[in-house]
Structure 1
Amino acid sequence: MSGKMKNVVLWLVAVVLTVSLVIYQRATGPTYPVRGKVEINGEIVKYKLIRSFMGEKDAPIEIEVLNSDITGEIRFKRYKSHDEWSTKPMTMLDGKLVTTLPNQPPAGKITYFVQLFYKGQAYPLNSDPVIIRYTGNVPLFILAPHIFFMFLSLLFGMRVGLELFFRNKETLYFTGIVVITLFLGGLVLGPIVQKYAFDAYWTGWPFGHDLTDNKTIGSFILWVIAWFMLRKNKENKVWPIIALLGMMAVYLIPHSALGSEIDYTKIENQPVEQNLNN
């Protein structure tokens, strides 16, 4: 295989590995919707219970059903609160059972159950409570480049690993790109995104326990060390491998795990707002 063809193949492999890791992280994260289906009177009802909502409106909960005799209700309360459980009926609208969960401040959470009814029989959709976290609006011109640079950092990180074992010609160059893109995406734009979403620039160590912040700075430090080590010795493989393994471990940890949240038990006991007209 020619050098040019090998380079193309390595890039293709890097793209596949990167996309796979990103999909895995998103799909296993605490903000990924809970999906499932239940059979009611011969009808298969599919549902998606959201676990993240951006904006200042109430969060919509919708279940598509064909049988208008099927009804539903939602039971909810603020997560980490002393609230009593509240119950709201779901309304049939355009072939869907719909209701809303009251909006919360950024990082506020609500835990909820949904169940459907047909001829007096209950069909719970979730046996474990679903927890939805609210975020503020993040402008696309901030969010898009943040995602872009984070994706690039992972892509070039994967390319570093492949370069080490199959070419070892541009390892230092690729490592430098990882450092730059991770810095821009994670340490410059990341805190700005967090400020819009949760009204705080940084909630990792030493100010909090946000795992996203902590793993970002940890990964960045490893790549900076790897870059300096490669400048001293371009044949060094230990630190680039350590940095790549650290980055892969970061993406294997579910996105938003141990993220920002409001503990309502530690602030005034203001009950969750209810809007029974929706």
Structure 2
Amino acid sequence: MLEKKGTPMEENQKSDQPEANETQEVTAELPPPEKARLLKRTALWFLAVILAASAMIYQRATGPTYPMKVPVTGNIVAKLIRTHESTGDATVEVPIPAPDAKTATATLYFKRFRTNDEFTPIPMKVETTESRTQLEGDLPKQPAAGKLEYYIEAEIAGQSMRLPENKNENVIIRFKDPVPDGVLIPHITLMILSILLGMRSGLAALFAPYNMRQLAWATLCGMTVGGMILGPMVQKYAFGEYWTGFPLGGDWTDNKMLFMFLAWVFGCSVIGLNPKKKNTTIGRFAVLIATIVMTVCYLIPHSMGGSELDYSQVDKGVDPSKAIETGRK
């Protein structure tokens, strides 16, 4: 039997209608209505800010350069410094109650880190201004990457104390050469933007993929300039070498940067640059993996395993700039 054909008008109407699968595919690529999209986008940006800020604060607060907070007396807490520029002595400050200014005494003990040196005592002086009263003692400046360990024995408010309290614990301070603001500020700014955009890209991969590609590429661009270009410049100014991570050294900060950068290179290579290309499940997964790698890297304390001056080589006559090692815990 011959198949019954429709009229020319019916045939034209059928040809103008897309197949069911084609309709579903087109719909999947379209963003939601403007109002719903705005609400979702606002919520995701808010969540991204929270995640990025939490990761950055955690990394800094757990890093070895963040001041060590130790209780002194009452609600007074001392912030014992753990990083300083090599251009001058590092002043250690211990706040005390104003009424105890005349009776408080303290001694600062220090020695070079990882050496058999004896601890050198330095009497601390009471300094009083309109806004504060504190004990102060100066640690002698060291070459870039040089480290000192120190502790304080004091008598404040009639109580004898050691700071830090644990006798087996000392404060470690590392010295670094100054970094110009013209390099440091753009580096920090771009790294902040990179982690914010990275978190937002991961959330887009999970919940709103229609703008995921732009976010992921923006993350990679920020990380390339801020981390892979300005980062080595900061390292050069501070410690004399552009790169001390793999394969040249064991600097954890450089290695973390390398892992994050490669993860985003992989993610962006999977999703491509074509704005008309569909965000496939594989592409979304690749971007999500890059975000997870970034998050894990930011959970590792900053400046771990960084540049450290080997005093044993310095004592043998080696120039301090040539006696810097990395990867030591």
Counterpart of 2:205?
A: 164
Gaps of 5+ in 2: 1-34, 318-329
Q: TM-score, normalised by structure 1?
A: 0.91
Q: Does 1:129 align with 2:170?
A: yes
Structure 1 letter corresponding to 2:196: L
Cα distance in 2 between the residues matched to 1:165 and 1:221 = 21
Check the 8 A contact 2:123/2:137 in 1, yes or no. Answer: yes
Q: Does 1:48 align with 2:56?
A: no
Q: Which has the larger radius of gyration?
A: 2
Q: Does 1:198 align with 2:239?
A: yes
Structure 1 letter corresponding to 2:117: D
Q: Does 1:58 align with 2:89?
A: yes
Q: Does the C-alpha gap of structure 1 residues 233 and 165 become closer, same or farther in structure 2, counting only changes over 3 Å?
A: same
Cα distance in 1 between the residues matched to 2:156 and 2:268 = 63
Cα distance in 1 between the residues matched to 2:229 and 2:288 = 25
Query: Share of identical aligned residues, percent?
Result: 40
Cα distance in 2 between the residues matched to 1:107 and 1:165 = 42
Q: Does 1:114 align with 2:147?
A: no
Structure 2 letter corresponding to 1:133: R
After TM superposition, the runs of 4+ consecutive aligned structure 1 residues lying more than 6 A away are: none
Give CA-to-partner distance per residue, 1:18-61, whole Å, 9 cap, x none: 1111111111111111112133xxx5542110111124010001
Out of 112, 119, 126, the position equivalent to 1:78 is 112
Q: How does 1:1-278 map to 2 (within 5 A)?
A: 2-39=36-73, 45-65=76-96, 66=98, 67=100, 68-94=102-128, 95-117=133-155, 122-126=160-164, 127=166, 128-231=169-272, 234-235=279-280, 236-268=283-315
Check the 8 A contact 1:81/1:263 in 2, yes or no. Answer: no
Check the 8 A contact 1:37/1:47 in 2, yes or no. Answer: yes
Cα distance in 1 between the residues matched to 2:207 and 2:292 = 17
RMSD of aligned residue pairs (Cα, Å): 1.8
Structure 2 letter corresponding to 1:215: K
Gaps of 5+ in 1: 271-278
Q: Does the C-alpha gap of structure 1 residues 266 and 86 become closer, same or farther in structure 2, counting only changes over 3 Å?
A: same
How many residue pairs are counted as aligned between the two chains? 267
Check the 8 A contact 2:206/2:284 in 1, yes or no. Answer: no
Secondary structure of 2:209 counterpart: coil
Structure 2 letter corresponding to 1:20: S
Cα distance in 1 between the residues matched to 2:43 and 2:284 = 21
Larger relative contact order, structure 1 or 2 (CA cutoff 8 Å, min sep 6)? 1
Give CA-to-partner distance per residue, 1:171-213, whole Å, 9 cap, x none: 1111111111001011100011111111111111122110000
Check the 8 A contact 1:210/1:260 in 2, yes or no. Answer: yes
My pick for the range that moved more, 248-257 or 202-211, is 202-211
